[in-house]
Every structure is written in C-alpha cells, then in structure tokens.
Amino acid sequence: MFVVMTVGATEAEILNVKGQILAEGMNPFEHAGAERVVIAVVGEIGARKPVLVDRLAALPGVEAVTPISRPFKLTSREFHPEDTVVRVLDAVIGDGSLTMMAGPCSVESREQLFETADAVKAAGATVLRGGAFKPRTSPYAFQGLGVEALRYLAEARDRTGLPIITEVMEPSQVDIVAEYADILQIGTRNMQNYSLLRDVGRVARPVMLKRGYGATVEEWLMAAEYIVSSGNPNVILCERGIRTFETYTRNTMDLAAVPLLHHLTHLPVIVDPSHATGKRWLVKPLAIGGIAVGADGVMVEVHPDPDQALSDAEQQLTLDQFRDLMADIVPVHEAVSGLAARPLVGSSALGIGGGLAKH
C-alpha cells in the first residue's frame, strides 16, 4: 500500500508518516510526484494491515492510504505513474528519445573495441556495450578479458563520450565493475540471483536487468523490485528473448512484453534482438519491431569482423549493417513517437496506458 500525502503536506508531516511506518517494522519509500508526495509501505504487513491503514490514514497531512494490487510495489505504475527517466552522462533513457546501445559481444582487444566504438558513435549510438566478464555456456569458451576489458571500455568512453554498459556476473565483481562502468548489466542467467540484485541495488549506477530466459514478466518485475527496494531506482528492463519450443531462432523475442511492461511499470524498456534471434539477418527487423511496439531503445551486438568474433559470431552486425540499421530505425522511432500523443485505446480502470506507445 502507499500513503498519499495532501498537496502541500509539510516536511514534518512526511517525516512523521515515515517514522510511523518504520516503527511498525516496515520500510517507507518516498516518491515526489508531480503534485504531491506518496510514500510506499514495503514489507511483510500480514494481518496488521487494516489497523495500520487506519492509523496512517489518521495522521496529519495524509489524504488517503491506497492498496497496491500488484506483488511488485515500487516498480509498479500504481505507485509511480510517471515514467522513470535514467540519465547517464549525455544519454537519457526513457524520455521518449531513441536509445541505441551498440558494441561487441565481448571486448577482445583495444583495437577491436575502439574501431567498433568510433563507428557506432559516428552512426548515432548513444551507449557503448562490451562484455568484460562473459557468462558462457561452456567453461572452455572464451570467458572475457575481465578487468583488462574494463580498462579498454573506460578508455573508449573517454574517446567517444559514450557511457558504457557491461555485465556484472557475481557479487564479488560489483565494486570493480561499478568503478569503470556507467551502467551495470545483469544477464539473463542471473536475473534471479538475489544476492547480486541486492548488491547492485546498493551502488550509484543504473542497472539494466535482462529478462531471465525462462522468466515470466511478473518474476522479472519482482527481480527489478529487489534492486529498487535495495535503494537503486535507476533500473532499465531488457527483453532479450525467452526459451520456447522454437529452434530456428536462439530464443523467442516476446514483443508483447514491451507494451505490457509499459502498462505495468514505469521503468524504461530496451529490446535486444541480437540475443533474442541469434541470427545477424534477423536483428534489424526485430530491432525495428521492438521500437514499433514502443521500446525505449535497442541493444545490438556489433563487431568489425563478426565471423572472427570470440563469442556470438553469428549474431553480431558488421559496422555497415549497424549504419544501415540506424538509417532505417530512426524514421520508425519518429513515426511511433507521433502515436504517443493519441488517446489510448483499452486503458485500464487505473487510467494507465494500454496503447501502442506508452505515453
């Protein structure tokens, strides 16, 4: 549930409400909305709920106490109706602009990274990706250059001005990755690694949480809830495909998840057609499809010589293919942004969007 303060509630009244919530053994999370402050009450409420609702509703400065119907609370639109906008260096994610995250699957050398970084920057990428610690299915496959790759990524950021995103695989890596990277990525295999989620919830870096390949949307949002409830509100969701019975593609890209997520949550949504399809020639149509259904951006793998790549060779775009993708995706994004101003069809009783675009 959350406490809706009156318009113009004083700081003392807000503090008093938070103090009462803490005294009940629950955690208060304040969100300053456009007009008024709302405070989520997070924790195991159980049978005390009716008593607590009455007690909080009677406090000075409180207008109402409202239940949150979803199991995810802080990440829900009910609690936080406005879109979350993540700002990192010059990149703004979730404000309606087109986010393009591009770069190699793995950082293989300084030269390979710089050549890719320069090319994707010139073509219009807004974030540079590159794997340093690689989660590989086989223990014998290339595992990434580790800290050496983090240093190259930091140099590439200095060179291009692009913020860098890279994966953190385990709690012991969080500090070192956060020292170099601008955005921390949690990979599909770690979506329910709760100690890792809590740890990235405590650092001052945005986190991109990829969907577990066997996870429902609700499990995914509950994983995001771990990060936000640990203190980090800057979470980005990434649909990277789920496992189905289909074998022609590496995974099945769940495009319906994009508008669904915009309906359920205020967090920005990115699509990753590289890992979703596993095939270079399918990346562009699915990237465009993701933007057409309202994604805030795309993450794609790009390599100067994909066939020689040390990981995910079949799905990485060439530099030319990335330029071609940019040329075709920008107008689609512009066309879809135009739809955002239209009234939504099929909005829920809560007045929360159900249309093609999220606004």
CB closer to ligand PEP out of 56 and 102:
102
Interface residue with ligand PEP among 105, 145, 287, 295 (CB under 6 A) is: 105
- Assigned token pair, 228: 């936000």
CB closer to Mn ion out of 105 and 228:
105
- The verdict on 43 binding ligand PEP (CB under 6 A) reads no
At closest approach, how far in Å is the CB of 215 from ligand PEP? Answer: 12
Name the packing angle between helices 280-292 and 319-339 (round to 10°): 20
Residue with tokens 């530099």: 319
CB 68 within 8 A of CB 38: no
Taking Cα atoms as reference points, which of 38, 46, 31, 70 lies closest to residue 220?
70
Looking at residue 164, what DSSP letter applies?
E
At closest approach, how far in Å is the CB of 46 from ligand PEP? Answer: 36
> What is the contact mask toward ligand PEP in residues 198 to 237, using x (rule: CB under 6 A)?
------------x---------------------------
Residue 251 to residues 214, 244, 272, 278, 285, Cα–Cα distance (Å): 10, 7, 11, 7, 15
Query: DSSP states of 67-105 as a string?
Result: ---SS--TTBTTT--SPP-EEETTEEESSSSPEEEEE-S
CB 261 within 8 A of CB 255: no
Distance CA 339, CA 244 (A): 32
Taking Cα atoms as reference points, which of 9, 51, 53, 54 lies closest to residue 32?
9
**Residue nearest ligand PEP, CB atom distance:** 187
- The verdict on 317 binding Mn ion (CB under 5 A) reads no
User: Residues near 55 by Cβ (< 8 Å), separated by ≥ 6?
Assistant: 20
> What is the contact mask toward ligand PEP in residues 140 to 169, using x (rule: CB under 6 A)?
---------------------------x--
Taking Cα atoms as reference points, which of 1, 29, 78 lies closest to residue 264?
78
At closest approach, how far in Å is the CB of 141 from ligand PEP? Answer: 12
80 binds, among Mn ion, ligand PEP, none (CB under 5 to 8 A by kind): none
> What is the contact mask toward ligand PEP in residues 235 to 254, using x (rule: CB under 6 A)?
-----x--------------
Determine how many CB atoms are found less than 10 A away from the CB of residue 229.
21
Listed ranges 49-57, 66-74, 104-112, 208-216: which one lies at the site for Mn ion (CB under 5 A) = 104-112
CB closer to ligand PEP out of 65 and 91:
91
At closest approach, how far in Å is the CB of 106 from Mn ion? Answer: 7
Stretch 264-323 residues interacting with ligand PEP (CB under 6 A) = 275
- Assigned token pair, 341: 């101003």
Listed ranges 81-89, 99-107, 120-128, 181-189: which one lies at the site for Mn ion (CB under 5 A) = 99-107
124 binds, among Mn ion, ligand PEP, none (CB under 5 to 8 A by kind): none
CB 290 within 8 A of CB 298: yes
- The verdict on 312 binding Mn ion (CB under 5 A) reads yes
- The verdict on 105 binding Mn ion (CB under 5 A) reads yes
At closest approach, how far in Å is the CB of 263 from ligand PEP? Answer: 23
User: Residues near 354 by Cβ (< 8 Å), separated by ≥ 6?
Assistant: 259, 263, 344, 345, 346, 347, 348
At closest approach, how far in Å is the CB of 314 from Mn ion? Answer: 10
75 binds, among ligand PEP, Mn ion, none (CB under 5 to 8 A by kind): none
- Give residues in contact with ligand PEP (CB under 6 A): 105, 131, 135, 167, 187-188, 210, 240, 275
- Give residues in contact with Mn ion (CB under 5 A): 105, 312
